[in-house]
Structure formats: structure tokens, C-alpha cells
Chain A
């Protein structure tokens, strides 16, 4: 039985093409994912991401539990601040990636995790919590999560808030900070490489909030645009760029691992320490000068040697060429080739992100005149 978010009727009303995503009926696009992508880069777009899991962890041992569960360290957080982390298994493999907030209430944290991994994540967190002291994990079923992203996003959202205090509180949020403002939990985070907010609102208020954002000119955007935006931003997608058999080091996420303090024993630490000291697979960015699209699982070659495969690939509407992230076993520089539908095409090796603040941050090689 596919699940629907509280905004399902709104998507249908707008003519969205709906698809099944992790057991949820979600909007793929509302007409053109390329236009939606462009609108987020140039103005403001919004995404219903209510399929994601919101879990509140509280109790005297919540902090200690998170310091064991997560590869990043929640001790870096002051109230109102968030960080991005992987949650690892004993083999150092990624169970999920998530955003964790330290809330203002003592010992309280909020975790946003992926839709596809909900059951697995909840079971894992609860199992680790057992016997680890007093900590309870409650999954919120009463809220929507709306991501409003783009250079005009924050201004548009602030203009919709009721009073000056609310407007100021939202406007003053620094990146990766969140606050409760009225009935909303507003966070200056996102998955598009643009500035913006992710807003948690009571389900009953969702349609009104959605419609007032629409009226303000924010364009509804679907999962198609969400994927091309995050890929341009060099952001990983769980299940594609990493999974339980991939460590953060192999997925370009070493920066999310808090090695210090050295005595913080998080699950998977030992495996990561060993891997860090040796040669291991790593993640690179690729772009294709020629016509064609890079797609997941296409093989990557250095000369005749197969050295890895693409984990995520698509078309970059901003760069107007194909881009991808790949996991390879060798150091690659300059160019490599990729098997695209039976042909070996030359791809340029780059370090993501591909686009930042709406502009290319990698050089797209010019197509030679024929």
C-alpha cells in the first residue's frame, strides 16, 4: 500500500506526474524537471519531502548514544545547530546519512533520515538505545517537511511569516541553524547547493502553507529536479553513492567523520582507522564533453583497465553536459573513459561540487570544432 504525504492532493491538483519512491507516491515533476531545476538555481522552488523520517531522541543518555551511533560528533553542536553525519555499522559501512539537530530542550535531538531506510534506521537506533541508558526515540508522524530552496527562498518565506519577531528570527538563522518559530521548525539547510530553508510544519497547516508559497511565486519541484540539483552540488544520495558496504572514506565523506577526540568510540571507528591508513577506493567527479548521459553502474576505465563504476550520473542543466560521481580504485587525473551504451567516451575527472551558488565551479571542456 503506497503512502501519501499530507500534500498529495496539492500535487495532483497541480498536474504532477506521480511515481513510487520508497513506498511513497511522490511528484516526479509538474511538467518539466529541467525548468524546475532552473527555477531553483535562479529564484525559488519547493519540494515536499515529507516522506523523509523525522525522529526525536531525548533523555539523559541521548547525547552519549548519538556520540556512539554517529561518525560525526554531536558535541560540536550548540542548541539550534545541525550537522550532517553518517551512521555506521560495525564494518564501517553506511547505514544511512542524516542531519542531526541539537534542540533547545536539554538532552533533546532531532534526526532527519531517508525515506527508504526508515524501518532499518528506527530498528537500529532503538536496538542501540536498549541497555545504553535512558533515551527514547519517537518518530514524528504528524508533520510535513517542505524544502524551499533558491536565492529568493529565504526572503519569500520570511515575508510570509506573521509578525516582525518571526520574520527576524527566521532571517537571522545562520547556515545549518534551526529555530522553532510559531508552529514551524525552520532550518537553514538543504539538498540543492542553494541557500534556503527546510520547514517542518504540522500536517494540518501544510496545504495552507504550500498554497501561500505558491501564491508568492515559489515553483513546485519534484524528485527529478531534486536529483539533478543535488548531483550538481556534489551531494551524495544514500543507496546510490553509498550503502552498507561502503565506508564514508570511499564515498567522498571523510570530511563528515570526527576523528577527534581520539577516545570517542563510535560504531565502525576501528574499521575506518584501518582503512584511513591504507589504500582504498575513493569518489571522484566526472563530466562528459560529448553528447550522452552518464548513468549509475557504467564502468570507468583508465586506459584498458576497469578501475571502477559510476555511482550517480545524470544531465547537468546548469553545465549542459552529463556529470557523475564515481567510485574508483586508482588515483585518476585529467581524463578517463566511461562505457556509455557500448561506446567508450572520454570523461574529465573533476572534484565536486560541479555548481555552487548557481555558477559552474568546474571547467567544462570546450567541444572541439569538427
Chain B
């Protein structure tokens, strides 16, 4: 049973979003996603400063099994990426909601998180996928 923290938001494409409270959000992939992908070997992160729209592919996590695109959940600017993942891509497997975070986005003017799933919504989405 994969972990789904109640205080985060989610997308149906298996990203989690944490509101940092300062106009930025931290983004990573869920426990469910890392479990499906298996051992990570490479992570491709966006360049800091890049402007993204909601739903835009901006990172890639590659496991032994498959490469998977990661999408920015909201429009904004990439302000930080997790450098630790270059040497330690396995952090995504070991601590997907903590040390395995991928990037931080400065939310664009007018952007908000209301369209994102809450923990229950995400749990339903996974259940539907597995049905």
C-alpha cells in the first residue's frame, strides 16, 4: 500500500506538490510512482530560471525499467532543483516525499493549486488505474 501524505496535493500523473507558503511549491513524484518505476538511475532536472506552463514536461526520471516524464503541476518559474539527485537518484525511491524532491516552482501570477487532487482524490485515481 503506497504512502499518500494528507498534507500534500497531487496530480493524476503522479506528482506531489507541497505549498511552501512563500509563493513557491516543491514538486516530486509519489511513492506509488517510484514503486512502479523501480530503482532510479538517472534524473534529468530542468534548468533554474526556466518558465513552465501547467502540464509541461520539465523533468525525466529514469529507472532501470523505464524513463518517465515529470510534468510541472502549475505555471511558473523553476527556482531550484535538487542537486543531490545527480549523485543519488535513489533518493527518489528511498524518500520520495522528502530528500527525493525534484524541483521548486515560483507560482506565476494568478496561478493557484485549487485544481489539484487532495490525498483522497489521488488514492481514488490510483485505485481506478489499477482496476
Q: Is the CB of A224 within 8 A of B44?
A: no
**Besides A17-B35, A28-B38, 19 new A-B residue pairs in contact (Cβ under 8 A), listed by A number:** A29-B38, A33-B38, A33-B39, A33-B64, A34-B39, A224-B39, A224-B65, A228-B64, A291-B42, A291-B44, A291-B62, A292-B42, A292-B62, A293-B41, A293-B62, A293-B64, A315-B41, A315-B64, A341-B67
Q: Mark A304-317, 1 if CB is under 8 A from B, else 0.
A: 00000000001100
Chain B CB within 8 A of A128 CB: no
Residues of A within 8 A of B65 (CB): 224
Chain A CB within 8 A of B30 CB: no
Chain A CB within 8 A of B106 CB: no
Interface footprint category on A: 10 to 19
Q: Is the CB of A224 within 8 A of B67?
A: no
A-B contact count (CB 8 A): 31
Residues of B within 8 A of A341 (CB): 67
Q: Is the CB of A293 within 8 A of B42?
A: yes
The number of residues on chain B lying at the interface, defined by a beta carbon within 8 Å of a beta carbon of chain A, is 12
Q: B: which residues have CB within 8 A of A?
A: 35, 38-39, 41-42, 44, 62, 64-65, 67, 90, 93
- Which of B35, B38, B90, B93 touches A224 (beta carbons < 8 Å)? B38
Q: What's the Cα separation between A17 and B35 when bound, in Å?
A: 9
Chain B CB within 8 A of A32 CB: yes
Would you mind naming 17 contact pairs between A and B with Cβ atoms under 8 Å apart?
Answer: A17-B35, A28-B38, A32-B93, A33-B39, A34-B39, A34-B41, A224-B38, A224-B39, A228-B64, A291-B42, A291-B44, A292-B62, A293-B41, A293-B42, A314-B64, A315-B41, A341-B67
Q: Which of A224, A291, A314, A341 has the most chain B CB atoms closer than 10 A to its own CB? A: A291
Nearest residue in A to B69 (C-beta to C-beta)?
A341
Separation in Å of the B45 CB from the closest CB of chain A? 11
Q: Is the CB of B62 within 8 A of A224?
A: no
Separation in Å of the B112 CB from the closest CB of chain A? 33
Q: What's the Cα separation between A291 and B67 when bound, in Å?
A: 12
Q: What's the Cα separation between A315 and B42 when bound, in Å?
A: 10
Q: What's the Cα separation between A33 and B65 when bound, in Å?
A: 10
Q: What's the Cα separation between A28 and B64 when bound, in Å?
A: 12
Separation in Å of the B86 CB from the closest CB of chain A? 9
Residues of A within 8 A of B93 (CB): 32
Q: What's the Cα separation between A219 and B39 when bound, in Å?
A: 17
Q: Is the CB of B42 within 8 A of A224?
A: no
Nearest residue in B to A36 (C-beta to C-beta)?
B39
Separation in Å of the A324 CB from the closest CB of chain B? 13
Nearest residue in A to B40 (C-beta to C-beta)?
A34
Residues of A within 8 A of B35 (CB): 17
Residues of B within 8 A of A34 (CB): 39, 41, 64, 90
Nearest residue in A to B36 (C-beta to C-beta)?
A17
Separation in Å of the B87 CB from the closest CB of chain A? 11
Nearest residue in B to A293 (C-beta to C-beta)?
B62
Residues of B within 8 A of A224 (CB): 38-39, 64-65
Separation in Å of the B85 CB from the closest CB of chain A? 11
Q: What's the Cα separation between A28 and B38 when bound, in Å?
A: 10
Q: Is the CB of A32 within 8 A of B42?
A: no
Residues of A within 8 A of B62 (CB): 291-293
Separation in Å of the B63 CB from the closest CB of chain A? 8
Q: What's the Cα separation between A260 and B100 when bound, in Å?
A: 58
Residues of A within 8 A of B44 (CB): 291
Nearest residue in A to B90 (C-beta to C-beta)?
A34
Residues of B within 8 A of A17 (CB): 35
Separation in Å of the A292 CB from the closest CB of chain B? 7
Separation in Å of the B108 CB from the closest CB of chain A? 28
Separation in Å of the A320 CB from the closest CB of chain B? 8
Separation in Å of the B102 CB from the closest CB of chain A? 15
Q: Which of A17, A33, A228, A293 has the most chain B CB atoms closer than 10 A to its own CB? A: A293
